[in-house]
Amino acid sequence: MAVLSGKRALITGGASGIGRATTRLFAQEGAATCIADIDAAGGQLVADKITAAGGRAIFIRCDVTSAAECQYAVEQMVAEFGGIDILFNNAGIIRRASVVDTSEEEWDHVMAVNVKSIFLLGKFAIPYMVEAGGGAVVNVSSGWGLVGGRNAASYCASKGAVVQLTRAMALDHGEDNIRVNCICPGDTDTPMLRDEAEQVGQSEAAFLAEAADRPLKRIGKPDDIAQAALYLASESAAFVTGTTLVVDGGGLAG
């Protein structure tokens, strides 16, 4: 039996990269999926492909930094599917700069997309999980949420906050049978990683080769992270909450 049969999952940033891979995997495993993203064309395409393959999926355009849009996305999903069992907080951005070279507007935007979005989606989704008798929240942090990185001050701060927010949410909602965990991916082959190469002024080839310098000698694939998300969202992780799962090919091993 599909491991998410009968479950209903909301995925932010589901139009591309890790979010798209996770949406497809969750759908393959039986979940009804709601893709929330600002990329309307990409998000609708993912939903249409899942539907064409016999699954259930909808797309809702959502700016995850907006309380009104996050509330609308949750309410529309509940109206369509009758509830929510899984929240995958995946939307994220990176700004490669020191504190000196980061503007206040850039700092606020990174923190809003990477951290505030988790607060907002949790605020509106968790009451429906409580109503349903439980659920699973999976947040996406980063290896740089556990160790520092050069010229990425706002990103490191935001991803460290995700780790701590995950722990706080796990403590607050365990009695509601809601598990809250986070994944710390290493460099993964997504549009964001390629944008990062441009930000630091390196060719994609050189940047990706440097990122692959880890024990497994490659960068991550979106499917690698999707499999970790599936584990944490499924009953296989029924006794796992408040944890941080590093999925980085050994990059933080030593």
Q: What is the mean pLDDT of residues 127-131?
A: 97
pLDDT in tens, 81-120: 999 999 999 999 999 999 999 999 999 999 999 999 999 9
Tokens of 189: 């082959």
Question: What would the two tokens of residue 243 be?
Answer: 């944890």
d(CA 135, CA 9): 10
Domains for the chain: give ranges and CATH numbers. Answer: 8-187+222-245 (3.40.50.720)
**Residue 150: band (very low, low, confident or very high) from pLDDT cuts 50, 70, 90:** very high
Specify which residues 87 forms β-bridges with: 10, 137
CA dist., res. 156 & res. 105, Å (int): 16
Catalytic residue among 72, 128, 155, 231: 155
Using DSSP's 3-state secondary structure scheme, residue 245 falls into strand
Give the pLDDT band (50/70/90) at residue 254.
confident
More confident residue, 114 or 254: 114
- Average pLDDT over every residue of 63-82: 98
- 201-233 core/surface letters (b: 16 or more CB in 10 A; e: else): eeeeeebbeebbebeeebbbebebbbebbbbbb
Please check the confidence at residue 1 and state whether its pLDDT lies above 90. Answer: no
User: What pTM did the predictor assign?
Assistant: 0.97
Per-residue pLDDT reduced to its tens digit, 16-57: 999 999 999 999 999 999 999 999 999 999 999 999 999 999
CB 195 within 8 A of CB 17: no
Q: Is 195 left (phi over 0), alpha (psi -120 to 50) or beta?
A: alpha
pLDDT for res 90 = 98
Cα 60 vs. chain centroid, distance in angstroms? 16
Predicted pLDDT at 206 = 95
Token pair of 33 as six digits? 């999926």
Note the pLDDT of residue 215.
98
Which pLDDT score is estimated for 20? 98
End-to-end CA distance of the chain: 39
> Known catalytic residue: 155?
yes
State mean pLDDT over 212-240: 98
Nearest to 29 by CA among 90, 91, 85: 85
- Is residue 202 over pLDDT 90? yes
Percent of the chain with pLDDT over 90: 99
- Residue 156 DSSP class: H
